[in-house]
Amino acid sequence: MRRPKSQEPSTQSRQVEAGASDGEGGDTDVTQQETAPVPALSKETQQPKECFLIQPRETKEDATKTRKRRKKKITDVLAKSEPKPGTPEDLQKLMQDYYSSRRAVIELEELNLPVCPKWVKLRKNHSEKKSVVMLIICGSASRALELIRSMTAFRGDSKVIKLFAKHIKVQEQVKMLEKRVVHLGVGTPGRIKELIKQGGLNLNPLKFLVFDWNWRDQKLRRMMDIPEIRKEVFELVEMGVLSLCKSGSLKLGLF
């Protein structure tokens, strides 16, 4: 059956209905997008928690083991011992111990050297260049400078020369010894040895050789407690000091 014309929908009504249907569909889509639930984070995607490592506490047994493993140092031994003034017997014993494996018994008996316990007059008709009347041997350059400053009243108007390697070249010291007469030299055994080898220092006019025996450094070591310096001292002794002591022209002193 055909529908009457009055009942057929017009073109405008069909467009309005279509537009209305389209509008409702679009609103529905927007509403669905806005109200879409946010997916919850699963346990696997959650951020990890911070972790702190706790160090185990040190027990008394561990502390005891650590103390037992610690080796004794010469500083610890020297800190417990009271400093004593040096004596001629101390130097004699060290020389005997050092040369006992290198010399025969008869040669060891010849090492009984005269030791001067006190300083006497420095200047007595000394007019030779490239030499000194008194030579003081120290363990370091800083100690040598300290001694030079402390003996201002003692040395008087006598000439003093620094005989160490700190900021001073060997050739400069050789020139100074050649230019003028020097009465007192203060330095380290290594540099004094080098000056003797190069002919810049003559030991024959030397009257007194003094060792800075009792001074201790920050580690409470004396000059002769340090193996390197002790070796250089005995090498210096072998470079003419022994023969001068035997002849009686040179005396040793401990400061």
CA distance 243 to 115: 14
Q: What is the pTM of this model?
A: 0.56
Lookup: tokens for 225 = 């407690």
Per-residue pLDDT of 176-223, as tens digits, reads: 999 999 989 999 999 999 999 999 999 999 988 999 988 998 889 999
Question: Is 187 within 8 Å of 112 (Cβ atoms)?
Answer: no
pLDDT of residue 85: 60
- 121-131: per-residue pLDDT in tens? 567 678 889 99
CA 19, 20, 21: angle at the middle one, nearest 5?
A: 90
Using an 8 Å Cβ cutoff, are 214 and 222 in contact? Answer: yes
Residue 53 has pLDDT above 70, yes or no: no
- Beta carbons of 170 and 121 less than 8 angstroms apart: no
**Burial readout 138-161 (b: 16 or more C-beta within 10 A, e: otherwise):** bbbbebbeebbeebeeebeebebb
| Residues, the chain | 255
Segment 69-113, tens digit of pLDDT: 666 676 676 667 666 666 677 777 888 888 888 888 777 777 776
